[in-house]
Amino acid sequence: MKSPFYTAEHDAFRHVMRRFVEKEIAPFAHDWDEAGEFPRVLYRKAAEIGLLGLGFPEEYGGIAADQFMKIVASQELARAGAGGVSASLMSHTIGSPPIARAARPEVKARVLPQVLAGEKISALAITEPGGGSDVANLRTRARRDGDHYVVSGEKTFITSGMRADYLTVAVRTGGEGAGGVSLLLIEGDTPGLSRTKLKKMGWWASDTATLHFDDCRVPAENLIGEEGQGFKIIMRNFNSERMGMAAGCTGFARVCLDEAIAYAKERKTFGKPLAQHQVIRHKIVDMAQKVAASQAMLEMLAWRSEQGESPVAEICMMKNQATQTMAFCASEAVQIFGGAGFMRGIKAERIYREVKVNAIGGGTEEIMKDLASRQMGL
């Protein structure tokens, strides 16, 4: 359907993305999931079509892009039904914005071109084993020692944590609370940094790790922004992350809908196609209704963001809306597939395993509700 939000430029990029996903990701998604990783060369291929540079400064190899171009990217990636690939391939979209926004010019010039060219991998490291989303009370400490910081502590559930070359790490440089939090760029080969791979319910192709910092010496020039300003930078990062997650979740929900429709037309039970059973038709309509509502909410918030607004409450609600839509559609798709939906190898089964991480990552449903209610003055 025609939309007032998408131009010919958006449509052209969608075509490029679709060909890329159909050629470079979809045929291999199942094997990569079973292997627990995807080839590092995929980053370079993604960079070649401009995917990695979207929204980053052109002087470092980025490409000017509005919110709708980013929605196109997220939702076309979702067509492969491989959330683990999307998560790690695009981990720089949460790891590198703080660098582009607040790092020293020489650090930007050294790091960003390599990341946006697909030569290096960027990741964000905030969550800690004992803290979850409680960023203001993180414990990983960075002590100033001359022209270095000495970092000690742990981070966990870090996407691209095993092979990231650049880690944007939240550390405590000051006292308790949000005002004591800073951001440091820590390079992957820093002595004292070790990593432990984590096994997960879903996102198998995405490497996820616990990071251990044992008196890592980090050059003071790698401080991102000013000391004590890290919390503000992190919070600004969250809006973009949640919009991206909402776009992806709505895309995954649509994949489940499309797969369910195709299967319902082919599969015959009791002498007729599944699609001719009223209960199945009703399930599909319920799925379509939720996908359409989520997409409409997503696009309106993207438009508002383009107008300079920062609708934090609505973005939090949008993330919940999208993850709930994904959960509903994945469950109904597997139900429509029946026994076949319980077998590994189809997109709906893979997406079903990946539902919960989206409702947790970037802030749990409960945190989203609390943030939204606070923004509403409650």
Same domain, 99 and 12: yes
Residue 235: band (very low, low, confident or very high) from pLDDT cuts 50, 70, 90 = confident
Quote the mean pLDDT of the chain: 96
Residue where a domain terminates, one of 88, 117, 146: 117
Catalytic residue among 24, 76, 154, 241: 241
Q: How far is it, in rounded angstroms, from Cα 214 to Cα 222?
A: 18
Mean pLDDT confidence for 138-148: 97
Active site residue 241: yes
| Residue 100: its H or E element | helix 97-102
Distances (CA, A) of 292 to 24, 249, 285, 297: 28, 13, 10, 9
| Residue 345: its H or E element | none
In a domain, 3, yes or no: no
CATH code, domain with 206: 2.40.110.10
CA atoms within 13 A on the CB side of 68: 19
Same domain, 108 and 130: no
In a domain, 19, yes or no: yes
Q: Report the number of distinct structural domains present in the chain.
A: 3
Residue where a domain terminates, one of 89, 117, 145: 117
Q: How far is it, in rounded angstroms, from Cα 83 to Cα 74?
A: 10
For 187, the domain range is 122-228
Same domain, 239 and 370: yes
Q: What is the pLDDT of residues 350-370, one digit of tens each?
A: 999 999 999 999 889 999 999
In a domain, 2, yes or no: no
Q: How far is it, in rounded angstroms, from Cα 374 to Cα 235?
A: 15
Buried b (16+ CB within 10 A) or exposed e, 321-358: bbbbbbbbbbbbbbebbeeebeeeebbbbbbbbbbebb
Among 119-133, 168-182, 241-255, the least confident range: 119-133
Q: How far is it, in rounded angstroms, from Cα 242 to Cα 70?
A: 12
pLDDT at residue 1, as a whole number: 60
pTM: 0.95
Residue where a domain terminates, one of 194, 228, 262: 228
Mean pLDDT confidence for 297-325: 96
